[in-house]
Chains A and B, each alone.
Chain A
Amino acid sequence: MKTAEITDIRDRYERSNRNKLTVLAVSAAVMAMLGIFFVTIGVTDTNIVQVAKAVAAWAGGSLDTGTSAQNAAYKIIVLMRLPRVVLAVIAGIGLSVSGVAMQSVTRNPLVSPFTMGISSASAFGASMCIVFGSGMFFKSELGIISCAFASAVVCITIVYAISTKAGMGPETVVLTGIALNYFFSALTSTIEFFAQEHKLAAVVQWTFGTFNGTVWRDVLFSGVFVIICSTVIMVHFIKLNAMASGDDELVKSLGVNPQKIRAVMCLLSVFMTAAVISFTGVIGFVGLVAPHIARILVGNDHKFLIPFSAVTGSLLLMVSDVVGKTILSPVSIPVGIVVSFLGVPLFINLIVKGKRGNLS
């Protein structure tokens, strides 16, 4: 026979979950509205009506008709600004969800997607292509993207192989990742050391991390990876709760295979990260800090932690990109730099004032 008290507690629990979902829906709506607003901001400001008209023209296939001035404005909106904002959202989701999953399966709050060495591996691949690339393909932007992604995949494979051999423990995964991070950094530094000056500048530029020059192809490729990997991670939220709750022996006793979940989550996280940073360059910090901001807001239940991290990361990157784009306009400061300048004070403020699970 249940006591009245426990019925009240269950009602309160369900209400709290519904409240979190409402906040999540509102945040996503705000993010969408902000995204549309940010499309209007640029060297030449436009307005929301123009954005709507441009999208309608694009959807109707009439982007190439009409007056040339209007066409140019529409093309800027649809082919340059819109993919940039959408990629910011996708990158925010990808990097933050990766961060949550990596932190939970390693039970380490200092871990980010880049702890696996992915950023330095991608930078190595990109720098190889920029410095030594020859032929049409390797001199193209697509060549650099492909090399960055391929190099990240090599890094993932090495981390996975070594970690599997060493038992796939949380420390093994982190330490192997850190070791490879240093290894690929050393390789990149070696290439930079011997590179010609103009190529060195291109390598350094790549590592800044930016949404400049984003096209729909980038959005499509990263988007497919991010949506698939994030969905699979989200579906496993109960197992991630178990992984984060105690050591591997406890996790096993709860009926979850810790080595398997750790391997799957790490692979999904790093593939998703690689698919993003191959196009954008290295955008650090957000993968570390967005999960922690979400933890402060909604606590450590992955059912809410994962979507809130995704929204937090996306908002951080969207706002940072628009600040970077406008603050010294027409010079666009890379989002990888701005996100740290904006995110650090916000994060420290939350650490000082915040209490975990504020929305509970």
Chain B
Amino acid sequence: MSLKVENISFGYTPEREILSNISFEVGLGKTLFLLGPNGTGKTTLLKCINHVLKPNSGRVLINEEDVAGFSPAVRAKKIGYVPQYNNNVFPMNVIDTVMLGRAAFVGYKMRSLDKDIVFDVIDRLELGSFAFKNINEMSGGERQRVFIARALAQEPELIILDEPTSSLDLKNQMFTLKLVTELAQSKNIGVVLSVHDMNLTSLFADKVIILKESRIYACGKPADTLTEKNIREVYGVDTSVTLEEGYTHVRLKKV
């Protein structure tokens, strides 16, 4: 899988662009982490990649095919999406929620093949002990795993995750990011996700993009992008950045 984003621009009104001329690439089995202050367009960029929002200009290519030309069902077969969680008014149990990942593949009946895929994903993500639990009654970490499982049930070539660690404790943040990066490698799928934690980013990201004021401010490997200068320029925060055991480590400095 290769994802190419070419000169994407987006704005709800012509006067105010939320994304301006964004271009980047993600290769087979790689993970791209999007960083940036609130309101810089991380979520909007993820939605444009998925064509949930149509970019005003530019193209998104998966394996050199333009995403704009795909029907919603074909798009769902290529791109899995894990949005930020909102409480569900009509929640279902874990199995039925993961089954939704097959919605684009089935007509009026879940085939045996679809169930094979769903139960395989449930098994792989160790969701068996919660299988019959209502998703609104689960912890944030468990639920995040269910939504990743739903996206995996789509058997996508690319998975997009919008702040998957935002409401998780430290252990679940580590678990979730380890899970998606390992999935990227083992299943050769691309992963694009937005986060705020720079130390987690340096541990798990293959590539980092830092957004500032609707544009790409920095793009590259964690060690090249997570620098004291970049963090100061983008967030206005002083930090001390060191290299420990091969990973960049960011420490906050008290103002």
Contact = CB atoms under 8 A, between A and B. Distances in A.
Contact of B77 (A2, A107, A255): A255
A9 B108 contact: no
B122 A9 contact: yes
A246 B88 contact: yes
A6 B119 contact: yes
A300 B92 contact: yes
A12 B91 CA distance: 20
Interface in A228-254: 235-239, 241-242, 244-247, 249-250, 252-254
Contacts of A252: 50, 52, 72
Interface in B33-61: 47, 50, 52
A247 to B, nearest CB: 7
A187 B74 CA distance: 48
A208 to B, nearest CB: 32
29 contacts: A3-B123, A3-B128, A6-B120, A6-B123, A9-B95, A9-B119, A12-B131, A107-B90, A109-B90, A238-B99, A238-B108, A241-B96, A241-B100, A242-B100, A244-B90, A245-B90, A245-B100, A249-B47, A253-B75, A253-B76, A253-B81, A255-B76, A255-B103, A255-B105, A257-B72, A295-B90, A300-B90, A357-B93, A360-B93
Interface string A173-215: 0000000000000000000000000000000000000000000
Interface in A106-148: 107-109
A2 B101 CA distance: 20
A268 to B, nearest CB: 15
Q: Nearest 7 CB-CB pairs, A to B?
A: A255-B104, A255-B76, A253-B81, A6-B123, A255-B73, A244-B90, A300-B90
B83 A246 contact: yes
A356 interface: yes
A357 B90 CA distance: 11
Contacts of A222: none
A296 to B, nearest CB: 12
Contacts of A239: 103
A107 B77 CA distance: 25
Which of B79, B91, B96, B102 counts the most A-chain CB atoms under 10 A from its CB?
Answer: B96
Interface string A1-38: 01101100110110010000000000000000000000
B119 A2 contact: yes
A80 interface: no
Which of A3, A16, A247, A300 counts the most B-chain CB atoms under 10 A from its CB?
Answer: A300
Nearest to A355: B134
B52 A5 contact: no
Contact of A9 (B80, B97, B100, B128): B128
B209 to A, nearest CB: 21
Contact of B128 (A6, A244, A245): A6
Contacts of B88: 244-246
A238 B52 contact: no
Nearest to B121: A6
Contacts of B122: 6, 9
B119 A301 contact: no
Given A249-B47, A255-B103, A295-B90, 4 more contacts: A3-B128, A108-B89, A238-B103, A253-B76
Contacts of B123: 2-3, 5-6
A357 B134 contact: yes
Contact of A255 (B75, B89, B90): B75
Which of B89, B97, B119, B128 counts the most A-chain CB atoms under 10 A from its CB?
Answer: B89
A57 interface: no
A250 B110 contact: no
A242 B83 contact: no
Nearest to A260: B72
B115 interface: yes
B132 interface: yes
